[in-house]
Structure 1
Amino acid sequence: MALVVDDEPVTRLMAKLTLQSLGCAPVLEAADGIAAQQVLREHPEVALVLTDIMMPRMDGLELLRWGRRAVPEAMWIVLSGLETFDSAVAAIRLGAFDFLPKSPRKEEMSVAVRNALERRHLLAERERLHRALEDKVRELEETSELLRRDLERAEVIQRALLPRSPPPMEGYCIQAVYRPGQHVGGDLYDVVRLGEHHLAFYLADATGHGVTSAMLSVLFKQRLVLVDAVSGLALPPAEVLAAVNRAICEAHAAPGLFLTAVFGLLDTSDASLTLASAGHPPVLIAREGGERRQVRRTGPALGLAADARFGQERLHLLAGDRILLYTDGLLPSGSAPELESLQQVLASPLASAQDVMTQVHGAMPAGVDRDDVTILLIDAHAGASWFDNGAERPAAAASTMPRPESEVVFFGEADHVAWLALRGRASWMQCDAFHEAALAVLDRGRPLVLDLSGCEYMDSTCLGTVHELVARGGVSLAEVAPSVRAMFEELSMQQVLAAVREDRPAAPELYPLDAGGDQAAVQKRILKAHEALSALSERNREEFKDVVASLRGEQDGQHGQDARR
């Protein structure tokens, strides 16, 4: 439907006939703007308005201003003579699609009308697609909310599969900490008493994240057989893993789905422990006398080959021995320095499973995507046993745990040199204060000595910060603990190693520094430290590329939010 508005009847008739010949029907008429308003009120579905500018009572520009609000979907073409050319330009600025000279030729009007109607169709289609997109977004939001609720329910169900409390076992202390990376995860553990003298335990980790890995871990639990059906005796760990591996291979044939697991059987009658590992990270053992050892995998991961063979190792436990099982989320790279630092934590007889989680896993920088993490700690001595599956631990268990050392960064000044020391386990939480104190010394032009003799462990943020400071100049190192030196060598920190001085001055009295800091500053420090380490070698670049990318993305996102504010 079209409308022709002109005060000259002949011009109006010619325009109407031309529009009809172009397929527009019906074509309505109006002699001026006032009459056109009435027509448009009665026929808001009009698709095209062809109007003159110079008309009595209401001209074309005033009609256009009104019409753009009253019938916003209509397309407008204005007719202009030479004397009203400037008004035609003004009409285009008001929203008219095109203008034609007075008494236009049929070819000119045909092109303008066709383009106007195509434009109207495109705008209508865009609006339709926009509404459809809004509907789809609402649908996805509703679906996302349903999935979120389902995941929360799945988490509740999965936690119900975990043991609630350790079985009593005289002379042994059993502790566990479970933390899923998402609502649900692929980690699973259990500790089961079999008869009077046997304690069976396992820790499994399904590949991947989320619901898929959680269902695979459930399949593992369902297929697990701990005792012989005929004799009722506890099965050896190697046989348990071989049987569950066959069952998993028979239950599914999907490629890329597998589990790693450790299964142990403790016989309290002779204090023997038998372990079998299916592709799992090393089991760490700390002896009372300081000896350390590892039990590495005795067979492949579960679910890869039905005919896989599994071995087992038998140990004799002494009073005070400690056995640590963990999933790979605790040590993402599984490097030798990480294992060494973990064994140092384990060597402390007072370190609980919660301490291990806090000191090792808690040192990872914020913003890094965390995997599922589970720790199972067995001590060959009497003590409080507890399982922490994410809820609050009983007060009795918490009271047996020592508080971690909070004083890590120390500072002091002599006549001509300043000292900074890191003691204990240094992590990203102290690095911002450590870095700012060092810069304050170096900006004054004073030499700085870093004392790392009492530092047992440094995470990657601390390592990168030390490299930055040494590369700046004016920094030397006093003694360096062997475990930290090994980290320097592992990460190709040759400039830092070259800065170690034997002829260091006497150290002044050192005082602890407050390690608090602004969250944004801490995140920036973590990023810069990892960028510094990544630049040292191709191996470092590959090892830290995911961390750097994640931290950069988080920082860019924060900058975007700040800009929008």
Structure 2
Amino acid sequence: MDAPKPLIGVLDTPGAYRDALADTIARDGLVVMAVESLDDLPEETALVVAHARAVPSLEWSRLAERLPTLVVSDSRLDEDLLTAVDVGLVDYVVEPLRHGQLLRRMIRKAIELHRLEEERAHDRERLAQLNEHLEELNESLETHLGMLRLDQQAGGQIQRKLLPPNDQTLGGVTCDYWMAPSLYLSGDFLDFQRFDERFTLFYFADVSGHGASSAFVTVLLKSLCNRWLSEWDGASPEALPARWLSRLNRELLDTGIGKHATLFVGVIDHRDHTLHYSLGAQLPKPLLMVGEQVIELPGEGMPVGLFPNVTYPRLRYDLPPHFRLWLCSDGVLECLPGETLDARLHELEQRIASCTTLAQLREGLALSTSSESDVEGEGEGTELLDDVTIMLLSGFADDHE
């Protein structure tokens, strides 16, 4: 269905001139209504063609505010014409009966311009409403982000409380570590606990991903390992690490949360100076520093929480009187130069070979000692590509607690 044609109002005193003006406008199929007063124009009027003599001087402003208006006059020197033009009406035509084609063209152009202006005004209104709505959404989002940030900060504090005391010595073995989450919560976790006078147990975990979901897995890991340690009777230490990895593998699969981890579990026998251990896809591999030589602990194992019915290796290593055992999460590799994984692993070995303390390795990796999000909670929120955790076990130099 064709759209209705716009109504053109002709405002002039009744007579042959007004009729002729209306006929001139209507020749191209325009709908025309001739009236004598502004108040006689219907609401659907799209445009007014007003003769300069037909509108009192004080009425031009009201007419211009209500409708787009073309002014016609028989003389360019008509004072009423000049008054109408001064108030800002659309345009004017002198001797309109002689210039009918120009008048009709100007009418159509004025109607189109008015339509476009109304559309722009409507768009501006919609844009203003949209901006207002977006401001409300942004305000709501900022509120929720603030609440989430507080929750994450609280979660980070709780997670740090689950970590063992730092730089503690048990049975002549000292554990020093540093942890920097990529935001507030970490998918990395570790523990170092004395079982009795003979055995100390420790583990080092890197849960896939980072943030809240990965941090929840570390809490589950802490709870399960504490329970399993309380159930252990101290027998068969060589079987404990592999058994723990198998049990944790089943636990993660049963949760169905789609998280897996790389994990190293070790039992130190302080009497025999022996490390019983098992590992699940630990990367980088644990590195043992003996004298000036860096040794990669042997062994391979599947990730924990990916595949059912996995058997993990039972491994043993005789620890020398003076040793340093380094464990790093894969986030450390992001801090090293090198185009390939092998190049970065080699670079890590070179750095460890030249370091005797954890602080020295951190300095070599350009990891700040004061402004990062470390285990003490200072400077939380440092932007790292991944969680970064380093654990250093050193011992048997002085065999005392």
- Return the TM-score normalized by structure 1: 0.51
In the alignment, which residue of structure 2 is the partner of 1:124? 125
- Pairing of 1:60-99 with structure 2 (within 5 A): 60=84, 62-64=86-88, 78-82=90-94
Instruction: Spell out, residue by residue over 1:364-416, the C-alpha distance to the aligned partner (whole angstroms, 9 max, x if none).
Output: xxx99532111111112458x9xxxxxxxxxxxxxxxxxxxxxxxxxxxxxxx
In the alignment, which residue of structure 2 is the partner of 1:500? none
Q: Contact (CA 8 Å) 1:32, 1:55: kept in 2 or not?
A: no
Q: Contact (CA 8 Å) 1:330, 1:373: kept in 2 or not?
A: yes
Instruction: Select 1:340's aligned residue among 340, 346, 359.
Output: 346
Instruction: Select 2:256's aligned residue among 228, 252, 274.
Output: 252
- Pairing of 1:502-541 with structure 2 (within 5 A): none
Q: Contact (CA 8 Å) 2:194, 2:200: kept in 1 or not?
A: yes
In the alignment, which residue of structure 2 is the partner of 1:91? none
The one-letter amino acid of 2:287's match is L
**1:171 equivalenced with 2:192 (yes/no):** no
Shift of 1:175: 0.9
In the alignment, which residue of structure 1 is the partner of 2:155? 154
In 2: Cα distance, 1:355 partner to 1:303 partner: 34
Shift of 1:171: 2.1
**1:277 equivalenced with 2:279 (yes/no):** yes
**1:376 equivalenced with 2:391 (yes/no):** yes
Cα RMSD (Å) of the superposition?
4.1
Q: Contact (CA 8 Å) 1:330, 1:361: kept in 2 or not?
A: no
Q: Contact (CA 8 Å) 2:263, 2:281: kept in 1 or not?
A: yes
In 2: Cα distance, 1:192 partner to 1:335 partner: 33
Instruction: Spell out, residue by residue over 1:338-387, the C-alpha distance to the aligned partner (whole angstroms, 9 max, x if none).
Output: 33343344335x62112112213549xxx99532111111112458x9xx
Q: Any gaps of 5 or more consecutive residues in structure 2?
A: 1-7, 19-33, 48-53, 73-77, 369-381
In the alignment, which residue of structure 1 is the partner of 2:310? 308
Q: Contact (CA 8 Å) 2:46, 2:68: kept in 1 or not?
A: no
In 2: Cα distance, 1:113 partner to 1:279 partner: 72
Q: Contact (CA 8 Å) 2:71, 2:93: kept in 1 or not?
A: no
Cα separation, partners in 2 of 1:168 and 1:115, compared to 1, 3 Å:
closer
- Pairing of 1:102-113 with structure 2 (within 5 A): none
- What count of residue pairs does the alignment treat as equivalent? 338
The one-letter amino acid of 1:13's match is V
Shift of 1:118: 3.6
Give 3-state SS (helix, strand or coil) of 1:329's partner.
helix
In 2: Cα distance, 1:226 partner to 1:306 partner: 20
Q: Contact (CA 8 Å) 2:288, 2:324: kept in 1 or not?
A: yes
Instruction: Select 2:42's aligned residue among 12, 17, 20.
Output: 20
Bigger RCO (CA 8 Å, 6+ sep):
2
In 2: Cα distance, 1:153 partner to 1:211 partner: 11
Cα separation, partners in 2 of 1:118 and 1:339, compared to 1, 3 Å:
closer
Cα separation, partners in 2 of 1:83 and 1:181, compared to 1, 3 Å:
farther
Instruction: Select 1:236's aligned residue among 237, 240, 243.
Output: 240
Cα separation, partners in 2 of 1:63 and 1:274, compared to 1, 3 Å:
farther
Give 3-state SS (helix, strand or coil) of 2:356's partner.
coil
- Return the TM-score normalized by structure 2: 0.69
In 2: Cα distance, 1:15 partner to 1:184 partner: 76
Give 3-state SS (helix, strand or coil) of 1:200's partner.
strand
Q: Contact (CA 8 Å) 2:274, 2:316: kept in 1 or not?
A: yes
In 1: Cα distance, 2:150 partner to 2:396 partner: 43
Give 3-state SS (helix, strand or coil) of 1:209's partner.
coil
Instruction: Spell out, residue by residue over 1:324-347, the C-alpha distance to the aligned partner (whole angstroms, 9 max, x if none).
Output: 111011123773443334334433
Shift of 1:107: 6.8
Instruction: Spell out, residue by residue over 1:88-110, the C-alpha distance to the aligned partner (whole angstroms, 9 max, x if none).
Output: xxxxxxxxxxxx96688987776
In 1: Cα distance, 2:277 partner to 2:37 partner: 95
Shift of 1:322: 1.3
Cα separation, partners in 2 of 1:108 and 1:24, compared to 1, 3 Å:
closer
In 2: Cα distance, 1:372 partner to 1:15 partner: 80
In 2: Cα distance, 1:354 partner to 1:178 partner: 12
Cα separation, partners in 2 of 1:52 and 1:253, compared to 1, 3 Å:
same
Instruction: Spell out, residue by residue over 1:60-97, the C-alpha distance to the aligned partner (whole angstroms, 9 max, x if none).
Output: 45434xxxxxxxxxxxx61421489xxxxxxxxxxxxx
Shift of 1:7: 8.7
In the alignment, which residue of structure 1 is the partner of 2:143? 142
Shift of 1:114: 4.5
Instruction: Spell out, residue by residue over 1:171-222, the C-alpha distance to the aligned partner (whole angstroms, 9 max, x if none).
Output: 2222111111222221111111112221111111111232232223223333
Structure with larger Rg = 2
In 2: Cα distance, 1:83 partner to 1:219 partner: 92
Cα separation, partners in 2 of 1:35 and 1:158, compared to 1, 3 Å:
farther
Give 3-state SS (helix, strand or coil) of 1:330's partner.
helix
In the alignment, which residue of structure 2 is the partner of 1:50? 69
In the alignment, which residue of structure 2 is the partner of 1:540? none
In 2: Cα distance, 1:108 partner to 1:340 partner: 76
Q: Contact (CA 8 Å) 2:189, 2:218: kept in 1 or not?
A: yes
In the alignment, which residue of structure 2 is the partner of 1:324? 326
Cα separation, partners in 2 of 1:287 and 1:106, compared to 1, 3 Å:
closer
In 2: Cα distance, 1:226 partner to 1:169 partner: 20
Give 3-state SS (helix, strand or coil) of 2:327's partner.
strand
Q: Any gaps of 5 or more consecutive residues in structure 1?
A: 41-45, 65-76, 85-99, 386-565
In 1: Cα distance, 2:264 partner to 2:323 partner: 18
Give 3-state SS (helix, strand or coil) of 1:260's partner.
strand
In 2: Cα distance, 1:144 partner to 1:59 partner: 60
In 2: Cα distance, 1:143 partner to 1:47 partner: 47
Q: Contact (CA 8 Å) 1:5, 1:51: kept in 2 or not?
A: no
Cα separation, partners in 2 of 1:153 and 1:18, compared to 1, 3 Å:
farther
Give 3-state SS (helix, strand or coil) of 2:287's partner.
strand
Q: Contact (CA 8 Å) 1:185, 1:214: kept in 2 or not?
A: yes
Cα separation, partners in 2 of 1:286 and 1:107, compared to 1, 3 Å:
closer
In the alignment, which residue of structure 2 is the partner of 1:355? 360
- Pairing of 1:176-215 with structure 2 (within 5 A): 176-215=177-216
Aligned-pair identity in percent equals: 22
Q: Contact (CA 8 Å) 2:325, 2:393: kept in 1 or not?
A: yes
In 1: Cα distance, 2:223 partner to 2:66 partner: 68
In 2: Cα distance, 1:39 partner to 1:150 partner: 62
Give 3-state SS (helix, strand or coil) of 2:348's partner.
helix
